[in-house]
């Protein structure tokens, strides 16, 4: 017999995790810091849901059926895609930043892009 909490049982936790993962994928279709922050919050919830799945499985000692395992494998594939996406996106942004910084401030003596220096604008009135 499976224990029920605010997250329901292991199967419900897993389905909730997948639902949040779908939302993350939707959010990341457009690059913005807000979308990424929201994604991080959703991913933390996925983490909690998976933690609950693990606890339920250990507590009840129940053997998950093939559908449960299949759902878990699909989620694992989605996580793999996301991990690869973030790794490649990091490279993309780093390259882009390098190009912008070098165009903004030129290059250092070591041939690296000049560090970004932002000067606060001063507004004088009267």
Partner 1 sequence: MGSLFSALTAAGQSLQAFEQAINVTQNNVTNANSPGYAEQVPQLISQPFQDGTGLAGGVQEQTQDTRDSYADTAVQQQLSLQGMYQQLQTTLAPLQNVFDVSSSSPIPSALSQLFQSFSTWATQPDNTDYQSAVIDAAQQTATAFQQAASQLGAIQDNTTNDIQSTVTQINQDAGTIASLNAQIAQDPTPDAGLSAQLENTLENLSGLANIQTIAGIGGQVTVLLGGQTPLVIGSQVNAIQSGNNTASNSGNPGAAPTISIFDSSGDDITSQITSGSLAGLLSVRDTLLPTLIGGGQQVGGLNTLAQGLADTINNTLAAGSTTDASPYQPGAPLFTYNSSAPSGIASSLAVSSTITGDQLAAASPGPPFSANGTALALAGLDSSSPGPVDGQGFTQYFGSLTATVGNAVNNANTSATAQSQLVAQAQSLQQQVSGVSLDEEAVRLVQLQSSYQAASKVVTVIDQMMQSLMDEIPT
Residue 60 DSSP SS3: helix
Residue 36 DSSP SS3: helix
Q: Report how far residue 51's alpha carbon sits from residue 54's, in angstroms, rounded to the nearest whole number.
A: 5
Out of 2, 5, 73, 107, the only residue in the binding site for partner 1 (CB under 8 A) is: 73
Least separation in angstroms between residue 78's CB and partner 1 is 9
Out of 29, 67, 110, 111, the only residue in the binding site for partner 1 (CB under 8 A) is: 29
- Of 2 and 73, nearer to partner 1 (C-beta) is 73
Out of 93, 107, 108, 112, the only residue in the binding site for partner 1 (CB under 8 A) is: 93
Residue that the structure tokens 């996106």 belong to: 89
Q: Report how far residue 32's alpha carbon sits from residue 20's, in angstroms, rounded to the nearest whole number.
A: 18
As a 3-state breakdown, the chain gives helix, strand, coil percent values, each rounded to 5, of 70, 5, 30
Contact residues: partner 1, CB under 8 A: 25, 28-33, 36-37, 39-40, 43-44, 46-47, 50-51, 53-54, 57-58, 63-64, 68-69, 72-73, 75-77, 79-90, 92-97, 99-101, 103-104, 116, 118
């Amino acid at each position: 017999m499976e224990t029920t909490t605010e997250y329901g049982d292991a199967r419900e936790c897993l389905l909730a995790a997948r639902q949040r993962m779908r939302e993350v994928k939707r959010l990341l279709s457009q690059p913005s810091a807000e979308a990424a922050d929201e994604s991080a919050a959703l991913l933390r919830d996925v983490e909690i849901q998976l933690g609950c799945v693990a606890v339920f499985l250990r507590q009840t000692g129940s053997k998950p059926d093939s559908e449960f395992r299949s759902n878990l494998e699909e989620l694992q594939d989605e996580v793999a895609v996301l991990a690869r996406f973030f790794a490649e996106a990091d490279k993309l942004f780093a390259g882009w930043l390098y190009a912008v910084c070098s165009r903004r401030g030129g290059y250092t003596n070591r041939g690296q892009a000049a560090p970004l220096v932002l000067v606060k604008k001063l507004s004088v009135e009267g």
